[in-house]
């Protein structure tokens, strides 16, 4: 399965440029331009409600294989206006997908090459499928071993991309649960250790936006880290940069307006190997 290291092109929803988030959008556009990372805007996402991209777009498994899951999350059951027409988007982009009825958000898919990390919320999202059959189907579709971690019950969306990220060569970076949720940390370590070497972020105390730093955009050898105006911005940036010594890390200021909506740079982007 392709990882972020294999990607070279970024797509961003047009709605991110709406007045409420324009400063963050311009910071991201400038950061991508400065590093000569190819990027474009997703067609059909003009609404100011369409600031996200990751969750509804397909997962790229290999050069020509894209899997489109059923984007029907519980948190949008009464808000269809937040979901753009992905068929129209993909048609305009010229991308063919393999469709599945399985309910999965893109933010809950952390590709690690021959493994993929997801939270166990995927069981709640697909109650009509036996758990063993669900894992078998995900393994076949994603061509990777599924490593399920317990979801963070205090995180509304149940995604993995604010909990853990892939560092390459069997290594993962874990959010700073050591500072504020030792019970969850213990369960996460027990689940991840059989499969990965683990590096943990640590700030010495709880910060409400710690998940946001881990929700960075990783494309190729570049990592774009959201800055939220919090006193931990510099600490988080330095620790992530240290965890990825072979990557170039770049701060993206003014991301606090996106954070208040429950996501940041990984959520607002869709990066592929183009």
Q: Work out whether the CA dihedral 171, 177, 179, 182 comes out positive or negative.
A: negative
pLDDT tens, the chain, 274 aa long = 999 999 999 999 999 999 999 999 999 999 999 999 999 999 999 999 999 999 999 999 999 999 999 999 999 988 999 999 999 999 999 999 999 999 999 999 999 999 999 999 999 999 999 999 999 999 999 999 999 999 999 888 999 999 999 999 999 999 999 999 999 999 999 999 999 999 999 999 988 889 999 999 999 999 999 999 999 999 999 999 999 999 999 999 999 999 999 999 999 999 999 9
pTM: 0.97
**CA-to-CA distance for 137 and 201, rounded, in angstroms?**
33
Number of domains within the chain: 1
What whole-number distance in Å separates Cα of residue 38 and Cα of residue 160?
26
pLDDT value at position 208? Answer: 86
Structural domain for 263, as ranges? 4-272
CATH of the domain at 106: 3.75.10.10
């Amino acid at each position: 399965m392709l990882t972020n290291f294999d990607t070279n092109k970024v797509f961003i929803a047009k709605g991110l440029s709406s007045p409420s988030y324009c400063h963050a959008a311009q910071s991201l556009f400038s950061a991508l331009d400065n590093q000569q990372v190819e990027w474009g805007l997703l067609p059909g996402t003009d609404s100011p409600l369409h600031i996200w991209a990751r969750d509804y777009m397909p997962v790229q498994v290999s050069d020509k294989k894209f899997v489109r899951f059923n984007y029907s999350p519980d948190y949008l059951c009464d808000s269809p206006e937040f979901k753009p027409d992905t068929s129209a988007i993909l048609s305009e982009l010229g991308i063919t997908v393999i469709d599945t009825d399985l309910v999965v958000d893109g933010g809950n898919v952390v590709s690690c090459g021959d493994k993929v990390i997801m939270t166990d919320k995927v069981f709640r999202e697909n109650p009509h499928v036996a758990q063993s059959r669900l894992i078998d189907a995900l393994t076949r579709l994603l061509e990777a071993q599924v490593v399920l971690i317990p979801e963070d019950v205090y995180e509304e969306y149940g995604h993995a991309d604010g909990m853990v990220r892939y560092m390459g060569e069997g290594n993962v970076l874990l959010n700073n649960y050591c500072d504020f949720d030792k019970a969850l940390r213990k369960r996460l370590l027990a689940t991840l250790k059989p499969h990965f070497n683990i590096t943990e972020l640590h700030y010495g105390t709880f910060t409400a936006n710690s998940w946001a730093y881990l929700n960075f955009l990783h494309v190729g050898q570049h990592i774009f880290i959201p800055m939220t105006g919090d006193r931990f911005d510099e600490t988080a940036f330095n620790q992530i940069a240290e965890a990825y010594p072979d990557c170039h890390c770049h701060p993206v200021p003014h991301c606090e307006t996106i954070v208040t909506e429950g996501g940041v740079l990984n959520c607002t982007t869709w990066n592929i190997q183009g």
